[in-house]
């Protein structure tokens, strides 16, 4: 499959790993928008939040959220952070493998964009 994030999972494209277990991978964003900017992905390919989360795969999304506090701690984000999901064309989703941006390391703007 021609998916950058699947290739990262497979080790075909290098990444700067922050956390990995059997279900998810977290790596540093190649183009960070804040002092800390990590990308959290399920290892299984799910396209986006739009129509692709089903009863069969929703457990991995819940799993990601149970792991976020640990990943945030590993990332040095004790004072808070932002989780962002870009979804679809108008949501500016550029990689079509569902992912959550974990952003922080400074006081973020109250405005989202
Ligand atoms: P989005 O725009 O929400 O689809 O986010 C995709 C994110 O993946 C962007 O912030 C990119 O900078 C990041 N990205 C794309 N390719 C790579 C890569 N090879 N390694 C790390 N981050 C990447
Ligand atoms: Zn993929």
End-to-end distance of the chain based on CA atoms, in angstroms? 32
Ion ligand 2 contact residues with beta carbon within 5 A: 3, 5-6, 45, 97
The rounded average pLDDT for each run of 10 residues, N- to C-terminus, in the chain (113 residues) is 95 98 98 98 97 96 98 97 97 98 97 87
**Does 62 sit in the ligand 1 pocket, CB within 6 Å?**
no
Residue from 10, 17, 25, 30 whose mutation best tests the ligand 1 pocket (most atoms within 8 A of CB): 30
**What is the reported pLDDT for 80?**
98
- Is 99 annotated as catalytic? yes
pLDDT (0 to 100) of residue 75:
97
The reported pLDDT for the residue numbered 22 is 98
Measured in Å, residue 112 CA sits from the centre of ligand 2 at 26
Tokens (6 digits) for 29: 């964003």
Please tell me the predicted confidence (pLDDT) of residue 63. 98
> Alpha-carbon Rg of the chain, whole angstroms?
14
List CB contacts of 46: < 8 A, sequence separation 6 or more. Answer: 52, 53, 57, 60, 97, 98
């Amino acid at each position: 499959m021609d998916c950058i994030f699947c290739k990262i999972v497979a080790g075909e494209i290098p990444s700067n790993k922050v956390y990995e277990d059997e279900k998810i991978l977290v790596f540093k964003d190649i183009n960070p928008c804040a002092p800390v900017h990590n990308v959290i992905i399920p290892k299984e390919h799910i396209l986006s939040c739009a129509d692709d989360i089903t009863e069969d795969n929703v457990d991995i999304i819940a799993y990601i959220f149970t792991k976020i506090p640990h990943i945030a701690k590993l990332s040095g984000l004790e004072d808070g952070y932002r989780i962002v999901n870009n979804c679809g064309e108008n949501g500016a989703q550029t990689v079509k493998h569902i992912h959550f941006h974990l952003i922080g390391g400074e006081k973020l703007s109250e405005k989202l964009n």
